[in-house]
Every structure is written in structure tokens, then in C-alpha cells.
Structure 1
Amino acid sequence: MELGLQGKRVLVTGASSGIGREAALAFAREGARVAITYNSRKDAADRVAAELTAADGEAFVVPMELSAPESIADAVGQTVERFGGLDVLVGNAVFWGGAFDDRPTRIEDAKPEQWLPILRANLEGNFHLVQQAAPALRNSDQGRIVLVSTDLAERGMTGSWAYGSAKAGLHGLAASLQHDLGQDGVLVNIVMPGITLENGTHRVIPAEALSQLSSRFTAGFPEAADVAATIVYLCSARTTATQAEIVRVNGGTARVA
């Protein structure tokens, strides 16, 4: 299927691994020019860039720290200058901030640093990202934004107050952006993954537990490439009337035992 992404200028944040990497590769296979950001893993980003080039895409690597507005502005500015504009923005970068390390199980035991930095980076950081990219996207004939959320925004998890709240905030951000950017033809949507695998494994959940969990879902757990495919389709010329939607890629609904 022709997706109309040949030569389109794409920025994927947090693309040195996982969903971001797979999305960048998928865009490159469609002939897009792809910029990818990294925070601390330049070596990994460079490897992804080499993969993009091998897939006949044009790759550009740029550092970006989601918790630093000036870093975001610089990454977007460099990308727009390099490509002469921007057609697609994928907000995939995350700031964990120890969100899942030694987290308390009771909210009264939470420390300030387990709330504000995580909330600000993952919500406010994406606000700054869209704000910086907006002028270029308005000038595109196929402006697209996809912000990557998480099903923790709906199902929650012990100790994930800040991260879940920040990702849920993206849903409200997209709902309002449609009234602004939509006037200039820019589509803004959310992709919400659940537990996502890379080559059949998960970076935290042990294989045995993963197998037991996966069997409860009607489609099993998606691979990062499955999430990426949804992102790319939403950013393609094939998508013309999907606006401010939350598209779930989570393996379906858990079966009742």
C-alpha cells in the first residue's frame, strides 16, 4: 500500500531503541527523511541511523533532553534547518526519572522528586516539542503529529502516579491541539501501547511471567514493530480524517479467568 511518505520530513524523538527505533525504520522504508533524537545513548542512535540509511532512507541524529526546553528547541530547529521543513512529528521520548525504581506503594510515601520532574518532562516536554514544531507543521501539505502514550494512563499501576498522569495529560493536549493545528490541516493523534515486546522479550518482565500474562489477552502482546506500524499509518496520506483519537495497540482485552 502506498502511504504517501516518500520524501516526507520526519522527526521521531527517543528513537535509539524500542518503538521509536521501529517507527524510524518504518518511515525510512517508505522513503521518508528521518531525524531521530537520543538523550544519552548516541552510539545506539548512530546504529539506528545506519539502519535507516541501509533501508534507503536519509538519517539525521540529534541530541535532545525531554526535560530541557532549550534542548527541545535546538533539536527541532536543527531538524527543520537540515530538511528545510517538517511534515511529521512523533513524540516518543520518555523520561523515567526512576519512576519504576524503588517506588513506594503508598502515595503518602512519595517524594517530590518522584512526581514533579517526571510529570514536567513527559507532559510539559511534549508541549514544548509540539510548540517548537508547530510553525513548520502548519506549512506542510501533510502535517501529522503522533504522541505516544501508555495504557498505564487508564489501567494504572502501583507507584506510577506521575508517569501515568503525565501520559494521560497528553490525551487532553491532543484534544485541544486539534482545534488549533487542525485549522491548518495538521492531524494530531495518540497511540497508546500496552505491554510491548522487542523480539518476543520484555526489558523488565521475565519470560515465564510474560507468557502467562500474554495468554490472557485476545491478541497477545504487540511487538514494537506493531506499534510503529500504527504510528506510520496515522502519519500517512492514507489517514485524512482521524483527529484527536486515542488508538490502542495493546493486544486486546484481557480474558476473564
Structure 2
Amino acid sequence: MAIVAIIDTGYRSYDYEKELFAGMGYELQIFQGERVDIPAKRALAMKAAGILVRDTPIGEEVFSGAPELKVIVRYGTGYDNIDLEAATAHGIKVANVQGYGNHSVSDHALALMYACIRGLPTGEKNVLTAFGKPPFPEVFELHEKTLGIIGLGRIGGTFSDKARYLFSRVLATDPYITDEKFERHGAEKSDLENLLEQSHVISLHCNLTDETRHLINREAFSRMRQRPVLINTSRGPVVDTNALLEAA
């Protein structure tokens, strides 16, 4: 019987997967070892016809030793832990869960935005240590400000739908989105340079690819004339951390 392997666990139940794959004639095997035991996870993956994965890096080392492997599905939207070029070379299909986290991630981005612009972390500390002290010197209101969104896909679009009524203007950049979708989400189409220069809040919602790695670098920070609040709920390496520390 062909095997489907779940190599990254963490969800409360896998009853749905068990029922689904049993009905399709597959044996479902769920990794039971330590989360950090990558070699053991890869060993299980190499026995499978299909893999369900979250964070474990999957590449040539697995593909070359997995003659039965036909498909990889990532629990989530990003897939930067999977070597797509190597998978394609081996004829292995890769899929993600489109629509996963649209609301939870966009809600979290809104929460981070409010925490920053209202000075909540600093304000809480000041209230606890020096009652009556002004909470944060850079608090500002949104109704006359510009929001910049980098990546207007499912999550970025959902974020725009929620945030557009808070700002006087929403700019967005995404070379893979149609003009109709910009209009649907209430965002003005912009190039990256203009967005960086005009925005008071910038929220990142792009996949991590070779194109977007360190997209926010020294040059990008030098263009941020408004010294904006920067929210990153995509992937960490979209921002050059050293450049961020220099600009802070």
C-alpha cells in the first residue's frame, strides 16, 4: 500500500487526513519523533508517495532517494522550504493551501500596526513604571495617512479590504495582480519606489522568493521619507535585518 507521510505535526487532530487517505487506499504515517530530527523526517519522506509538510526543508536529498514520491503539499501558503526547481526536475508536483490564514494573518498585521502606531508596548511599560507619563512620542492618527501594501494576493488583499477605510489613501504594488484586483481591494497601483516614499505604514504580504529576498534593503530604507511603521507578516528574509538596524 502506498504511503502518505505527515512529517511536521502540531495540529490538534489528523482525523480528517486519516479518513480521507484511508478512503483513497493510502496508508497515512505521521512522524512521531522530535521536531528537530530532520534526518528522521526525511527518512520517512523518502518512503512516501505523498508528503504533507510545514517547516522541514525538502530538496534534492529527499527527491533523489524517494522513487515513489509524486506530490508534496505544504500546510500553509508559503513554500520557501521546498526546492521547487529540484522538485520539477524529478517530476514531483508541489502545492500549497491557497486561502490558508487570509483572515488570521491580516488580523495579526492589523494588531501589529495598531500596537506600533499607538505605542502600546511602550505605553504599557510607562503606565506600569511611571503612571501619568506620556505613553509614546510618535503616536499618530491614520485618517490622513497613506498605507502601502507590498503583495496584494489573498492575504494582502484581505488586509487591504480591512484597512482601507482607516486611511485616506492605500497604495499597493504587486507585478502579478491584475488592475481589476487593485480596484476591487480599494488600492491604487504603485511602483515600489513611490510606495516607499509616500507611505506612513508599510505592510509586507509577499512570498519569499529570489525576487523578494531582501526586497527591503538599504536602498529601500533610504527611500522611506515618512519613516513609516513597517509590518512584516510574510517571511523574515524579505527584510534585510542589518539594513533595518542601521535605519532604525
TM-score relative to the length of structure 1: 0.30
Higher relative contact order (CA 8 A, sep 6+): 1
1 or 2, which has the higher helix percentage?
1
Structure with higher Rg: it is: 2
